[in-house]
Amino acid sequence: MLRNLNDFLSELRMLIRARYPLVHIATYEEDRALVALGAIAAELNKKLILWSASRGVHNLDGQPVDRHDLVGNVEGPFPAAAQAALSDLASALELFDRMVVHKDRHKGGYLFVFLDPYPYLSGRGVNPIYSRKMRDLVIAIRSRGYHANCLVISQSLAIPEELEKEVTVIDLPLPSRDEIEAHVSGLIEKLRPNRGFKVDPNPELVTRMVDSALGLTMAEIDNCLSKAIVDDMKFDDRDVQSIFLQKQQIVRKSGILEYIDARKLSLDDVGGLDLLKLWLTRRDAAFSAAGRTFGIASPKGVLITGVPGCGKSLSAKSVAATWKLPLIHLDMGKVFSSLIGSSESHMREAIQVCEAVAPCVLWIDEIEKGLPRTHGYVGDSGTSLRVLATFLTWLQEKESPVFVFATANAIEHLPPEALRKGRFDEIFFVDLPNHQERLEIIDIHIRHTGRDPKNFDLDRLATMAGPEHFGADIALTGAEINSWVNEALIAAFQRRRHGDSDVDLTMSDLEVALERLVPLAKMRQTEIAAMRRWADEHATRASSPEGAAIVTDNHLEIDGRHLDL
């Protein structure tokens, strides 16, 4: 994949000089692609002629083309009737074919640009003459050495089968960091003399605006900047958030992804999991300007597996909020479709949207439900395996700052190739919370009710929620602790409704509510034991061992012994 505009121009220039007969430029930014083609045409002395269904044959400025430009030795504008006829693709192709063989053809050659021609070339009920004439022109250019290239500009890749072997697809990358920074800085300098215009003096403002605008088209960026100017004639942090809202629109329009608003959360809302939180906190530097300058590469992502209800999904939401990045949720079920070929297309579209809104966190919950095991039976004509291949290849090779946060409850259902090194930076195992973690989780949930944790014996509650009460290797999960506190709160409220208005949540309410709880760990002891055996060999623990304490960012202390993290 081409990473910036210079790479695109270099590649496109090479394809034109090598006389590739048919090149498809995949982009939503038609105007930006045409500007690039205009520059290349001038540089290589090529005559640039465009076709569209609405305007027929025309110049880069949208005006009809002179007859002399089309057939040579004829002055004056092209007759109106003939120009109208050229709005038909077949007529335009026939004209272009005559131009490349005409004795007075342009010596530098031609660039024939077709804007959104695929409704004429593919689909039910389409006249086959269009694809046939297109193929005739392409073959003539290739086989007879004519100085011409056909270029298609469209986001759609509905290429008819007859042209698949003739076309070369090239993506116009979205504006790079340097392009956006130059554009934003140029706009600020242009507006700065205006007395009513103000810019936040924070030197990091432009950097944050550029970070938030990455993944948008230049038109979308201009819309956001124009809105900011019209709103209050000021550029500040509010405008950075406005650009993030524009990214939400991109996600919503995809229909496959969901934007999750996690701004009110932080890693402090996750009880325990100290090693996972430390690992995530360190990676924050990769998304900062200073980190990029220092040479830190964007992390690929992390796979979290373990006991259900122990904070895997909450961690995904909290880390996105802590890093101040958009959180995008991918539902693997929406990727699959009953239409043949649609599932692969949905996965590619989801990937493209994520890269468009990057830097971001992509959260894939219960990833094992959407990825098949390759050695098992797959009764969908191989669709699931192709989706798997697309996803894993992207995980391995992606360079965009999309941090994949995948969770799995049943790790054994994941295909082995998803677990090998290079797909994820690390695989963490989340176990039942130990005593200290239960204490932290209870503290968090009591505070969320608006009560002061100091009014409760948290140490005793943490003991009640663990093996001392339920038996060996059995403890409440974080989700069960949340439910426990909520049930006690309901009981306290019922007493208030039927009695004293001063009644509040008490230790007694929590003790009574606990007796009605049957822990998941008790019902699934065998499965959890198997998870732990797997994790001992294949994963990193998300929590410090019982009795351990992190004494530095790099070391643990366990019973007086120092261990490297």
Q: Domain check: are 136 and 186 in the same one?
A: no
446 part of a folded domain: yes
Query: Per-residue pLDDT averaged across 262-272, rounded?
Result: 88
Which secondary-structure segment (H or E) carries 469?
Answer: helix 467-470
Q: Domain check: are 456 and 318 in the same one?
A: no
Query: Per-residue pLDDT averaged across 68-94, rounded?
Result: 65
Rounded Cα distance between 287 and 6, Å, is 24
Crossing angle for the helix pair 237-254 and 205-213, to the nearest 10 degrees = 10
| Domain around 385 | 267-427
Bridging pattern class, strands 561-564 and 555-558:
antiparallel
Determine what percent of the chain falls in helix, strand and coil, rounding each to the nearest 5. Answer: 50, 15, 35
318 part of a folded domain: yes
73 burial level (CB within 10 Å; 0-12, 13-18, 19+)? exposed
Q: Domain end: 209, 230, 254, which one?
A: 254
Question: Which residues touch 169 (CB under 8 Å, ≥6 apart)?
Answer: 23, 24, 26, 157
The better pLDDT of the pair 554, 493 is held by: 493
The better pLDDT of the pair 563, 499 is held by: 499
338 burial level (CB within 10 Å; 0-12, 13-18, 19+)? exposed
Write down the pLDDT at residue 391.
85
Encode pLDDT of 41-66 as tens digits: 999 999 999 999 998 899 898 887 76
Q: Domain check: are 153 and 302 in the same one?
A: no
Q: Domain check: are 20 and 163 in the same one?
A: yes
Q: What is the CATH number of the domain that holds 162?
A: 3.40.50.300
Tokens of residue 524, six digits: 């699934």
Instruction: Evaluate whether 150 touches 37 at the Cβ level (below 8 Å).
Output: no
Encode pLDDT of 171-204 as tens digits: 898 888 888 999 998 988 888 888 888 888 888 8
Rounded Cα distance between 92 and 108, Å, is 20
Residue-by-residue DSSP string for 105-134: --TT-EEEEEES-HHHHSSTT--HHHHHHH
317 part of a folded domain: yes
Q: What is the CATH number of the domain that holds 485?
A: 1.10.8.60
- Number of neighbours of residue 311 by Cβ within 10 angstroms: 27
Is the pLDDT at 269 greater than 80? The verdict is yes
Tokens of residue 445, six digits: 């949930």
Rounded Cα distance between 116 and 121, Å, is 10
Encode pLDDT of 100-141 as tens digits: 887 667 888 999 999 999 999 987 788 899 999 999 999 999
pLDDT level of residue 551 (50, 70, 90 thresholds): very low
234 part of a folded domain: yes
558 part of a folded domain: no
pLDDT level of residue 301 (50, 70, 90 thresholds): very high
Q: Domain check: are 194 and 211 in the same one?
A: yes
Q: Which DSSP letter does residue 269 get?
A: G
Write down the pLDDT at residue 559.
44
Q: Domain check: are 400 and 487 in the same one?
A: no
Question: Which residues touch 141 (CB under 8 Å, ≥6 apart)?
Answer: 19, 21, 100, 148, 149, 150
The better pLDDT of the pair 405, 373 is held by: 405
Number of compact structural domains in the chain: 4
Which secondary-structure segment (H or E) carries 305?
Answer: strand 301-306
Q: Domain check: are 143 and 158 in the same one?
A: yes
What percent of the chain lies above the pLDDT cut of 70?
Answer: 87
110 part of a folded domain: yes
Q: Domain check: are 49 and 150 in the same one?
A: yes
Q: Domain check: are 327 and 246 in the same one?
A: no
Could you give the angle at the alpha carbon of 150 between the alpha carbons of 170 and 68, nearest 5°? 145
Strand partners, 303: 406, 427
Q: Domain check: are 466 and 336 in the same one?
A: no
Write down the pLDDT at residue 340.
45
381 part of a folded domain: yes
497 part of a folded domain: yes
Q: Domain check: are 160 and 49 in the same one?
A: yes
Write down the pLDDT at residue 247.
72
pLDDT level of residue 290 (50, 70, 90 thresholds): confident
Q: Domain end: 147, 171, 195, which one?
A: 171
Write down the pLDDT at residue 380.
53
Q: Domain check: are 240 and 333 in the same one?
A: no
Is the pLDDT at 339 greater than 70? The verdict is no
